[in-house]
């Protein structure tokens, strides 16, 4: 046990509900909000989180303090930000994505950690089980890799001559690695040849597209703070190569990508606020079951489809939640 955590225990911090402890100390409860991207890139998600907190009685600046930090898609920032939250003695850490949650879990075993989205939290060791997470971590599982086959199936309907697929993902993210494997397996099932291009930093993106030149009919982009932060440049490179794209989140499609299918992230962040509410009122994170997404978005960018010369089937358009024109 770390010395500072032992001192915290000696002070009886573990025995009181967090909100009560904060009031006892004469200060508001505090939330350490670690955004994996930039403030602009995930503004809708953050707004949804703060709005739901307000509905639950936690008004920023009046009944709760929120410390915002942004990793800007750079994994080397994770540990430093989490260490700062530990020094600030925030009452709960809120973040998203398996690598960041791993970094937070390594930094503290006492401060509750709520993830708004994480793929396969049991398989990656974030929690013991979905029903009984144990420890100080809980939240919402995106299980994004499980929808890989559905995304590829839709892509084949839009690109009927799809024979070669490129897959780009951050190989430092275990969930991206898992998803890339799922896409490759689905591609084999559909008789599609799949080539992967692993990236680790923004500077790797352009060379990845260069390596895939002439080797793909479409590209599948795995969701990661690195890819979503650089979504505009990714879509510019894909357009220049005349490659249709499939994504996990609507933000890519708003930035010029062709299609996305995945969980509704504003809804996940709203539900993350409900976890925070329970924890600030005394619940233990290890007793709060990990939840699954209930809302999914299927978004199509018709402007991009027209630029690529793709005729979007009516059956696809009817299934979409949103069509951007």
Q: Please, what are the domains in the chain?
A: 3-141+264-294 (3.40.50.2300), 145-263+297-324 (3.40.50.2300)
DSSP lists the bridge partners of residue 196 as 167
pLDDT tens for the chain, 325 residues long, are 443 333 333 333 333 344 444 444 457 999 999 999 899 888 989 999 999 999 999 999 999 999 999 999 888 999 999 999 999 999 999 999 999 999 999 999 999 999 999 988 998 889 999 999 999 999 999 876 678 899 999 999 999 899 999 999 999 999 999 999 999 999 999 999 999 999 999 999 999 999 888 889 999 999 999 999 999 999 999 999 999 999 999 999 999 999 999 999 999 999 999 999 999 999 999 999 999 999 999 999 999 999 999 999 999 999 999 999 8
Paired sense of beta strands 259-263 and 296-301, if any: antiparallel
Tokens at 52, concatenated: 């739901």
CB 89 within 8 A of CB 110: no
CB proximity list for 6: less than 8 A, separation 6 or greater: none
pLDDT at 73: 87
pLDDT at 145: 64
- What is the arrangement of strands in the sheet containing 164-170, beginning at the earlier edge strand? 193-199, 164-170, 218-221, 245-247, 259-263, 296-301, 322-324
pLDDT at 263: 92
pLDDT at 33: 98
Q: Cα–Cα distance between 321 and 89 in angstroms, integer?
A: 41
Tokens at 8, concatenated: 């915290």
Can you give the pTM of this predicted structure? 0.84
């Amino acid at each position: 046990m770390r010395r500072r955590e032992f001192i915290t225990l000696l002070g009886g911090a573990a025995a009181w509900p967090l909100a009560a402890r904060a009031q006892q100390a004469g200060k508001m409860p505090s939330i350490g909000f670690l955004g994996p991207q930039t403030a602009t890139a995930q503004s809708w998600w953050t707004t949804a989180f703060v709005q739901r907190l307000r509905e639950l009685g936690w008004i920023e600046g009046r009944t709760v303090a929120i410390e915002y930090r942004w990793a800007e898609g750079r994994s080397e920032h994770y540990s430093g930000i989490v260490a700062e939250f530990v020094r600030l003695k925030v009452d709960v850490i809120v973040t998203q994505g398996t690598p960041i949650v791993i970094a937070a879990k390594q930094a503290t075993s006492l401060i509750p950690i709520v993830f708004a989205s994480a793929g396969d939290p049991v398989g990656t060791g974030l929690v013991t089980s979905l029903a009984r997470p144990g420890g100080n971590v809980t939240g919402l599982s995106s299980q994004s890799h499980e929808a890989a086959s559905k995304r590829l199936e839709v892509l084949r309907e839009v690109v009927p001559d799809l024979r070669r697929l490129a897959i780009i993902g951050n190989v430092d993210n275990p969930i991206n690695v898992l998803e890339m494997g799922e896409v490759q397996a689905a591609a084999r099932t559909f008789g599609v040849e799949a080539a992967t291009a692993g990236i680790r930093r923004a500077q790797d993106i352009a060379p990845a597209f260069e390596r895939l030149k002439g080797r793909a009919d479409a590209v599948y982009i795995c969701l990661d703070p690195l890819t979503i932060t650089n979504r505009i440049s990714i879509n510019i490179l894909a357009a220049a190569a005349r490659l249709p794209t499939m994504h996990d989140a609507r933000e890519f499609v708003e930035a010029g990508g062709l299609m996305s299918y995945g969980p509704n992230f504003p809804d996940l962040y709203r539900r993350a606020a409900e976890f925070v509410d329970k924890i600030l009122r005394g619940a233990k994170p290890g007793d709060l079951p990990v939840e699954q997404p209930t809302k999914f978005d299927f978004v199509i960018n018709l402007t991009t489809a027209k630029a690529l010369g793709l005729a979007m089937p009516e059956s696809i358009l009817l299934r979409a939640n949103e069509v951007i024109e």
